[in-house]
Amino acid sequence: MTHQFPALSEAQKRELHETALRIVSPGKGILAADESVGSMAKRLAQVGVENTEQNRRQYRQILFSADDRISSCIGGIIFFHETLYQHFDNGVPFVKMIRDRGILVGVKVDKGVVPLAGTFGESTAQGLDGLSERCAQYKKDGALFAKWRCVLKISDTNPSKLAITENANVLARYSSICQQVRIHYYSLSMYLCGHYSDISFLRQHGIVPVIEPEILPDGDHDLKRCQYVTEKVLAAVYKAMSDHHVYLEGTLLKPNMVTPGHSCSTKYSPEEVAMATLTALRRTVPPAVTGVAFLSGGQSEEEASVHLNAINNCPLAKPWILTFSFGRALQASALRAWRGHKENEKAATEQFIKRAEVNSLACQGKYTGGENCGEDYQLIYGSCYAY
């Protein structure tokens, strides 16, 4: 039987929990603006813009220059490494402006998906080497939370047991490193006597891990199959979290909603999606987890908002805050409005604000819109989407 090392003090736990709570406080969710350089290439290509550092900065500036209206809708923004060190045209660092708005800064810390040998096209995510040092630096540079994305696929045989176990484990290792890190100090007297045994201390990064085991919507599977796989994946994730002594109150989960595969011929109502999603979460996610912030996974902007709204109105007990951590479903209209033209920047920012406001209502179950669901699906959806 494993014994619990007293890793975090009560004060450290409180700090992690409070940070997690601030990100998902009522009416707030997360803007995922952490697309890697490669993912930005695909986004910008859709609107005929070249993928240069300057254009990526210009585009992020459109999102980040949204006025105070977003302060009540967005609790945290996830940055990509490059963006964390970029500035507005007037020289103000992005991070400073976001923090001045009371929005928490997060950063994507995985280094992308890599093939998992011995599987049929499955993957794990890399980036554990040096993660502790990167967390320390990001903390100094203003980040209070992090994101790590793993990807699982549904087919007749996938996800395999190996992919489920490996991805759960890497998410747990990442989470424990974010929350705390063991540092080895060599005692000088022991060193001088020729004894190299070390003394370990725990230093706290105090970074809230956002845990993202994304199950892709690729395939023709139905809602039931997605629910079954989601339950298996989340159960493995929380077993690994327990094994790695992760402090759940200081974490956020970023799962897929339970939806049918994009090629599934059966259509399901938002209420059916909500029931399947909440059933899967209730069977596997401990109530100690502070919040669940869904990814949009290639749904249209409206579809994602309508589903989030239905999830919050589902007549099942919900022990967690249920909100959004959308990338594409917060940005698609803004990107389309911009198309790389200076004169469109204001209109693009307004589009982003509109989506932030809609999702702020949806995460409280108060959104009453929802026409034109699915219209922009083709533009947003990309198969085997890599962030």
How many other CB atoms are there within 10 angstroms of residue 239's CB atom? Answer: 15
Letter string b/e over residues 294-320, b meaning 16 or more CB atoms within 10 A of that residue's CB: bbbbbbbbbbbbbbbbbbbebeeeeeb
Specify the residue, 36 or 344, whose C-beta has the smaller distance to ligand 13P.
Answer: 36
149-172 burial, b at 16+ Cβ within 10 Å, e below that, comes to bbbbbbbeebbbeebbebbbbbbb
C-beta of 289 vs 304, nearer to ligand 13P: 304
Site for ligand 13P contains 387 (CB under 6 A): yes
- Can you tell me the distance from the alpha carbon of 256 to that of 254, in angstroms, rounded to the nearest whole number? 7
CA dihedral 211, 216, 221, 222 (to 10 degrees): 50
Residue type, 106: G
Cβ of residue 328: shortest distance to ligand 13P, in angstroms? 3
Q: Is the Cβ of residue 166 or residue 212 nearer to ligand 13P in the bound state?
A: 212
Q: What is the DSSP letter of 210?
A: E
User: Which residues make Cβ contacts (< 8 Å) with residue 220, sequence separation at least 6?
Assistant: 261, 263, 264, 265
CA nearest neighbour of 37 among 93, 81, 85, 76: 81
Looking at 110, 122, 166, 212, which residue binds ligand 13P (CB under 6 A)? Answer: 212
Identity of the residue, 149 or 204, whose beta carbon is nearer to ligand 13P in the bound complex: 149
Site for ligand 13P in 239-278 (CB under 6 A): none
CA–CA gap between residue 132 and residue 179 (Å, rounded): 10
State the nearest-atom distance from the C-beta of 43 to ligand 13P, in Å: 10
The answer to whether the CB of 177 falls within 8 A of the CB of 242 is no
CB 268, min distance to ligand 13P, A: 19
| Residues in the chain, overall count | 387
Nearest-10 Cα torsion for 58, 64, 66, 72: 160
Enumerate residues 117-176 that contact ligand 13P by CB under 6 A: 149
Q: How near is the Cβ of 295 to ligand 13P at its closest, in Å?
A: 4
The minimum distance between CB 387 and ligand 13P, in angstroms, equals 4
Structure tokens at 102: 């009371």
Could you give the CA distance from residue 376 to residue 364 in angstroms, rounded to a whole number? 24
- Smallest gap from Cβ 299 to ligand 13P, in A, equals 8
> Minimum Å distance from CB 372 to ligand 13P?
19
The contact mask relative to ligand 13P for 291-330 (x = CB under 6 A, - = no) is: ----xxx----------------------------xxxx-
Element housing 243 (H / E): helix 223-243
Q: Count residues near ligand 13P (CB under 6 A).
A: 11
Nearer to ligand 13P, 34 or 345 (CB): 34
Determine, following the binding rule CB under 6 A, whether residue 355 of this chain makes contact with ligand 13P: no
The answer to whether residue 219 forms part of the interface with ligand 13P (CB under 6 A) is no
Q: Is 95 in the site for ligand 13P (CB under 6 A)?
A: no
32 binds ligand 13P (CB under 6 A): yes
Nearer to ligand 13P, 206 or 297 (CB): 297
Catalytically active residues are 212, 254
- Residue nearer to ligand 13P on the CB measure, 86 or 296: 296
d(CA 294, CA 255): 5
- List of residues contacting ligand 13P (CB under 6 A): 32, 149, 212, 295-297, 326-329, 387
